Amino acid sequence: MRDVARLADVSVATVSFTLNNTKPVAPATRERVEQAIRDLGFRRNEVARALASKRSRVLAVLYPALQHRFGGTVVHFFTSAARRASELGYNLILSPIDNDAGQLGDLTAGGLVDGVLLMEVQLDDPRVTSLLQTGTPFAIIGRTREPDLLTYVDIDFETTMAASIEYLSNLGHTRIALVTGSVGSSLLTDYGPVVRTEATYGAIMATRDGDAVMISCDETPAAGRDAASRLIEASPDLTAVIVMNEQAAFGLVSGFRNLGFRVPEDISVISMSSSAEMAAMSDPTLTLMAAPGVELGRMGVDALVDKLEGRAANGETQVLLPCVLVEGESTARVREGG
């Protein structure tokens, strides 16, 4: 460390603070130290560092990959979270264990990870109970049924659904259906995003002149094509669909076309809680309520690291971010007489 300190023109203590993130270091000073480390070919001994500090500086993201498919929004979250963790001196790993909490003990025991980020959260999530019992620091990307005493950041599904219906209503649509994603596993019952979205949709439609038509389908394009047939059968005069299932959305558009309905001339489609990359896979390109995956990834890591480093003294971090409207080619004013 003395060689690094000499080359960077700082004290040995400053090098130590930079390497271990034990005290704040000015960005310009940190950059000089890190450049000196690169110039000297210095490599940190992470094992020795962990033994000395009794911390692994590893954060685990728990995502039930065998129960729920990855989408563009999830990729944005992971990349953003990994980038932020690295900036703060941590390593981020993905642990694709189930939501039944049975494998949590192996991951959290023995100091393998310093803290945990939970994704794909159920209203009554057994992983939350397990982590509270073991005292493992954690933050949630999502919300449980009663999240008041927990640290979380989440999409504001209620506000996003209300904005989606309002957008379509301003285009003259009253017969608006909702398609959500089937999580495909009994271990993901009461999945928070779907429950909140469906409840908000139902409550809003009850105050309007249109019937509430809700279906769910698997997260595949083929399931989306099948969903189009089911929607037309359930509501032959529908003029708009909100789909919160980005894997099925472009299959839905294809299914309408196969049935002789044009998008958006006959039926408008808006993709909710999705990403621009997924929306662009459709022809026409989907109008979407873009999920704040990048922001949630960064904020989730910040909230967890604040807990680990004693900066969460003012209570739990609790943030809701709505999706942002990005107009594409799949929505239009309702056709005359529609």
The superfamily CATH assigns to domain 2-44 is lambda repressor-like DNA-binding domains (1.10.260.40)
- pLDDT above 90 as % of the chain: 50
259 pLDDT band, cuts 50/70/90, is: very high
Q: What is the pLDDT of residue 296?
A: 93
**Higher-confidence position of 193 and 7:** 193
Q: What is the pLDDT of residue 27?
A: 85
Tokens standing for 10? 């700082």
* Residues 85-113: tens digit of each pLDDT: 999 989 998 887 776 666 676 676 666 78
**Higher-confidence position of 182 and 205:** 205
- The whole-chain average pLDDT of the chain stands at 85
**Higher-confidence position of 24 and 155:** 155
Q: What residue spans define the domains of the chain?
A: 2-44, 58-155+293-323, 157-291
Asked if the model's pLDDT at residue 218 lies above 50, the reply is yes
Instruction: Supply the DSSP string of 54-70, one letter for each residue.
Output: T---EEEEE--TTTS--
Could you confirm whether domain 58-155+293-323 is CATH 3.40.50.2300? yes
- pLDDT above 70 as % of the chain: 86
* CATH fold match for the domains 2-44 and 58-155+293-323: no
Measured distance CA(94)–CA(117) in Å, rounded:
10
Mean pLDDT value across residues 80-85: 93
CA distances from 126 to 23, 94, 98, 129, 197 (A): 36, 19, 10, 5, 22
The answer to whether the CB of 273 falls within 8 A of the CB of 323 is yes
Q: What is the pLDDT of residue 186?
A: 46
Measured distance CA(8)–CA(15) in Å, rounded:
9
Asked if the model's pLDDT at residue 261 lies above 60, the reply is yes
Mean pLDDT value across residues 48-75: 68
Mean pLDDT value across residues 158-167: 97
The superfamily CATH assigns to domain 157-291 is Response regulator (3.40.50.2300)
Asked if the model's pLDDT at residue 48 lies above 70, the reply is no
Q: What is the pLDDT of residue 199?
A: 94
**φ, ψ of residue 9 in degrees (nearest 5):** 60, 50
Residues 212-232 as b or e (16 or more Cβ within 10 Å = b): bbbbbbbbbbebbbbbbeebb
